[in-house]
Structures are given as structure tokens and as C-alpha cells.
Chain A
């Protein structure tokens, strides 16, 4: 599975959009981009995934560049409960987690 690069940490203000970048320059054509998040000591929570097209669901939006070498997860209106470690994963099947981005939402 391709490796990903994410910022170690980021802060965002409550009520504002949070934009989380991810680089995956070695992604293969059949690999999906997945985003999960993990709130302290809980199991990872699935957020969203995509292959080529941008995707949106009730939690977030996923923007994938045309060359698929990077993507951005957008949390449209961050709340304090969105404070978590966010993992960007590229995969066909087995999930390979990196260190993720620690996102802290501040009031």
C-alpha cells in the first residue's frame, strides 16, 4: 500500500472549517483514499473514502486532486467533539495507518 504524509498536528477554531491535507504521491490506480479518525483510546471511526471523484457525506467532504497525488479532508463546521487523530490511508484492502494528524478544535 502507498504511504501517506500528513502534518503532525493542527489547530482549528470551533465553528470554522477544518482542512486536513494528505500527500500520497505513490498511490496506485486501484487504491482508494480513506479517512478515519480516532478519539482518545476508542476504535477508529470511518469518515469517508474516494477513488477519483470528490465525495461528500454527513460528516465531511473529500477533495482528491486530478493526479490523485494528494487529497484534503474538509470538516465544514468543526466542533469540540471533532478533536481527534485523523488518519489518511490509501489502500485496496488492508489498512496501513501512519501517525495521522492530531487535530485540536479550540473554543
Chain B
């Protein structure tokens, strides 16, 4: 167990809807990174938050957005859901942006 928790574990949405996924970081960690893992592929970096500020972003459109709260927990928001957004969404926390990242169990999103 890494101490990183995510909610919900599973989610079903329809195309065009919006979704919010949540992540609680490991105690003492101030950085959260989000990843998308499509079936059969490795995780792809979405963005990272360090002390409530975005600290790097991967090749994802603006409809993927995030927040980090003062307690360092984080949300991933996806607007205008598309079928291809169906994936396992992973968050990882670390002591800082350049320290080892520890992953949560993920949220599996299915878009119909």
C-alpha cells in the first residue's frame, strides 16, 4: 500500500458528460501527477501539480483540467467526454516534482 487513494474506483459516463476524479496524496507529499492508461498501453502523463500550481503538462487537450488543494489532494476534471477517454486514470504523489512517485490504485472510467 502506498497511502495514495483514489475515488471512485469505477465510473460509467456517456459521451459529452463531465467527470471529476479525486486523489488523496500520501502523507507529507506535496506533488500529485495524473496519468491516463488506455487498455493495453503504458500510462501517459497528463499533468502534475506542485503546491497547488500546475507544474508541467503532457499532450492532452484543455478539456482535461485539474486542481490541487491546500491539503495537497487533487482533482482531475474532464469535460465533453469522448469514447476514447475510456481508460484507467492514475494519480501518483511524491515529496516534490523530482522525487519518486507512488501510485494509487486508479479509477476506471468507461465512456459510452
Residue ranges of A at the interface with B (Cβ–Cβ < 8 Å): 34, 36, 41-46, 49, 85, 87, 92-100
Contacts and interface: CB of A to CB of B under 8 A. Distances in A.
B90 A93 contact: no
Given A41-B88, A44-B90, A87-B42, A94 B102 contact: no
Sorted from nearest, which 4 A-B pairs have the closest CB atoms?
A97-B42, A43-B103, A97-B43, A93-B98
A44 to B, nearest CB: 5
A41 to B, nearest CB: 7
A43 B42 contact: no
Interface residues of B, number: 25
Contacts, number: 54
Given A43-B90, A44-B90, A96 B45 contact: yes
A43 B33 contact: no
Nearest to B57: A94
